[in-house]
Amino acid sequence: MAKTIVQEFTKGLWKEIPPFRLVLGLCPTLALTKSVENGVGMGFALTFVLVCSNILIAALRKVIPPKVRIACFIIIVATFVIIVELMMQAYTYSLYEKMGIFIPLIVVNCIPLGRAEAFAYKNGIIRSILDGLGMGIGYTLSLGSLALIRETIGTGSLVGAIPFLFSYNFTNIFGEAYQPFSFMVEAPGAFVCLGLMLCVMNMLGKK
Amino acid sequence: MKEMINMVVVLTILSVTSGGSLAFLRDKTKDRIEQQQLKFVKGPAIMSVLPNVTNDPTESYFKLNAGTKQERSFFVGMVDGKQKYVAFESKGKGFGGEIGLMIGVDLETDQVVGVGITTHAETPGLGSRAKTDPAFTNQFKGKPLMETFKVKSDGGNIDALSGATITSRGVSDGVTQAGAIYKELKPQILEGLKTVKK
């Protein structure tokens, strides 16, 4: 069942959307969705790493010996992660400080490694780019939506900036009298919220 | 055999290219990262340890080599156009690793004017109060920097944070060390001050 090129891109947006359908990359999904800014920042970082590593792995797939392929994938992914880390330190330092350890942890995130092994190592460059882009955007959207729910309910306001695009500042969305439901921005709230999201996704996918 | 050589060659080439390109990028971004750290991490710490300065210490600083050890930056705080304070970094060993300290000194009296914590990995709620509780760091204020600082249970005169003796000890050691550095470098610091624009 060969997929068309468009399908390679769109599968990451709905059918195989990483944290909700593949249930991969959950650590940052739980930890970095306290605010939309962090969630989307993480999504961007992962998209960059994913697209770049997919390109390189697809280009080198004939050269990389199967026995050491995992080691090669890790070198490639780690290189791009460090590039992201350095760039964030240089250009978006405050976001880098908030995301802290989760940037270097992209190296051991299942998504780049999973896509390398399951897709880029077996497919051409164009398809790999689309696959990486789709998965990355899907991941960004999932983290963004999860963070949107948590930040709105948990703090009653949305404050931050999407890196390189725009900043936003909505305070007291529910009015002055709203008492922030701070459980939602704590760790247990992340689990509950993610569980409910998975439940909704499964219900929608069933029909 | 051929396969093995192939594996070694591919892995080596990949690692070397990766290492090389990262070293290049690091070199390119080094200055900018340093600037950003000055602005976001050190800047606020410097302002919190130097009282009422009228200039921007992150813009007037000089570097000195402490013995054979690494380079240190000395940030100059001016009050009404007069160079009154310097702030520099030191570190102490805490409970969860190194505690980064920023120490402000009055150049005339050699007294501590402020101690701030820049980076730490202490237990939240216990050791982390060293950073958030000004009552602790305020104890250092006004004391001559060149004396030895110890917590009370070690026979000194610093009240340790309850439940965080090791952290308090680390901060005291860090300030004591800063005193040693200051003592050693005082002549060079005075020289360095002349190079900073007024």
pLDDT in tens, B52-105: 777 777 777 787 776 656 677 888 888 877 788 888 888 888 888 888 888 888
For residues B110, B140, B117, B66, the Cα torsion angle rounded to the nearest 10 degrees is 30
Q: Say if the Cβ atoms of B40 and A71 lie within 8 Å.
A: no
B121 in reach of chain A (CB within 8 A) = no
Confidence of residue B14 (pLDDT cuts 50, 70, 90): very high
The stretch B159-171 carries a mean pLDDT of: 89
DSSP type of residue B149? P
Distance in angstroms (rounded) separating the CA atoms of residues B131 and B127: 8
Q: Chain centroid to CA A105: how far?
A: 12
Domain boundaries, chain A: 5-206
B40 in reach of chain A (CB within 8 A) = yes
Phi, psi dihedral angles at B52 (to 5 degrees): 50, 40
Q: Chain centroid to CA B141: how far?
A: 17
Residue of B nearest to A63 (CA): B10
Q: What is the interface size between A and B, counted as CB pairs within 8 Å? A: 51
Least CB–CB distance from B10: residue in A72, A82, A94: A72
Test mutation, A49, A57, A64, A80, chain B, max B CBs within 10 A: A64
CA distance B6 to chain A (A): 7
Residue of B nearest to A57 (CA): B14
Which residues of chain B lie closer than 8 angstroms to A78, CB-CB?
A: 18
B13 in reach of chain A (CB within 8 A) = no
Q: Say if the Cβ atoms of A65 and B7 lie within 8 Å.
A: yes
Query: Can you list the pairs that A91-97 forms with residues at least 24 positions away whose Cβ atoms lie under 8 Å?
Result: A91/B32, A92/A41, A92/A163, A93/B33, A93/B36, A93/B37, A93/B39, A93/B40, A94/B40, A95/A37, A95/A38, A95/A41, A95/A163, A97/B40, A97/B41
Which ranges of chain A have pLDDT less than 70?
1-2, 207
Residue of A nearest to B13 (CA): A72
B190 in reach of chain A (CB within 8 A) = no
Confidence of residue B146 (pLDDT cuts 50, 70, 90): confident
The stretch B146-161 carries a mean pLDDT of: 85
Q: How many CB atoms lie within 10 A of CB B83?
A: 18
Cα–Cα separations (whole angstroms), residue B87 to A35, A131, B39, B41, B110:
35, 51, 15, 14, 12
Whether the Cβ atoms of residue B146 and residue B110 lie closer than 8 Å to each other: yes
CA distance A97 to chain B (A): 9
Range in A113-127, A174-188, B2-16, B157-171 with the lowest mean pLDDT: A174-188
Least CB–CB distance from A90: residue in B3, B21, B36: B36
Tokens for A147, please give them. 């963070």
Tokens for B39, please give them. 């602005």
Range from B9-18, B30-39, B57-66 that averages highest in pLDDT = B9-18
Whether the Cβ atoms of residue A152 and residue A173 lie closer than 8 Å to each other: yes
Phi, psi dihedral angles at A133 (to 5 degrees): -65, -45
The stretch B153-169 carries a mean pLDDT of: 87
Instruction: Give the pLDDT score at A50.
Output: 93
Distance in angstroms (rounded) separating the CA atoms of residues A29 and A26: 5
Least CB–CB distance from A75: residue in B18, B32, B41: B18
Q: Say if the Cβ atoms of A79 and B21 lie within 8 Å.
A: yes
Q: Say if the Cβ atoms of A83 and B10 lie within 8 Å.
A: no
∠ CA(B56), CA(B60), CA(B64), 5° rounding?
A: 140
Q: Say if the Cβ atoms of B18 and A94 lie within 8 Å.
A: no
Which residues of chain A lie closer than 8 angstroms to B32, CB-CB?
A: 90-91
Least CB–CB distance from B10: residue in A64, A79, A97: A64
A57 in reach of chain B (CB within 8 A) = no
Which single residue is written with the structure tokens 């439901």?
A: A181
Instruction: Give the pLDDT score at A136.
Output: 93
